[in-house]
Amino acid sequence: MALTAPAAHARAEATYRPQANKLGLWLFFLSETFLFSAMISARFVTSGTDTPEHLNQPLALAITVVLLLSSISAYLSENAIANDDRSGFMLYTRITILLGLLFTAGVVLEWREALADFPAATIYGSAFFALIGLHAFHVVTGIMALGVVLNLGGKGHFGSEDYWPVEGTVKYWHLVDLMWVVIYPSLYLF
């Protein structure tokens, strides 16, 4: 029996929407990767592998560990909602947001110190502040997105059959971590 136009549309939507969502997200990630790659390249083109003496290495390591921990809690959050464990989802999402805020506070602290040691107008300073600023902007938008899914989750949205918004947000959070994996050694260790 032939389907009516709205029914056919609904069936096509149900079939292709998840794939389209996933493809769209990964294309967005690809564009983000280009953006970060350009910024990281600029750091090496302008100042080689030189790094200033005054970089706060322990602080950089500490915020790296905090971001790494937030990735684990984000992973556990997605895993919890995929298994209808709402309380686990709420708990791990809150932890992820807190760790994200802690990371942001660490970046602010780092900026205060760095501004005194190498102004943004210097060659290394411009690469340093632009790259960390770009990354921090992504962390802040990630925290906002996590806040939205936390709020919706608290109102009873999402479950094992429908958690794409959580999955997308958590993947974005992992992207932020992924970029830091390259930024951290590029600015502090090489």
Number of residues that bind other proteins (CB under 8 A): 30
Question: What DSSP element (H or E) covers 150?
Answer: helix 123-154
The residue within the footprint of other proteins, chosen from 39, 76, 107, 127 (CB under 8 A), is 76
CB of 188 to other proteins, least distance (A): 7
The contact pattern for other proteins, residues 165-184, with x = CB under 8 A and - = no contact, is ------x--xx-xx--xx--
Q: Is 104 in the site for other proteins (CB under 8 A)?
A: no
CA distance 105 to 110: 9
Q: Is 34 in the site for other proteins (CB under 8 A)?
A: no
| b/e code 148-162 from CB counts within 10 Å (16+ = b) | ebbeebeeeebeeee
| CA-based radius of gyration for the chain | 20
The residue within the footprint of other proteins, chosen from 32, 47, 85, 90 (CB under 8 A), is 85
Q: Is 49 in the site for other proteins (CB under 8 A)?
A: yes
95 closest CA partner among 158, 143, 165: 143
User: Helices 164-184 and 57-82: crossing angle, nearest 10°?
Assistant: 160
Residue ranges binding other proteins (CB under 8 A) = 22, 26, 49, 57, 61, 64-65, 68-69, 71-72, 74-76, 79-80, 82-83, 85, 171, 174-175, 177-178, 181-182, 185, 188-190
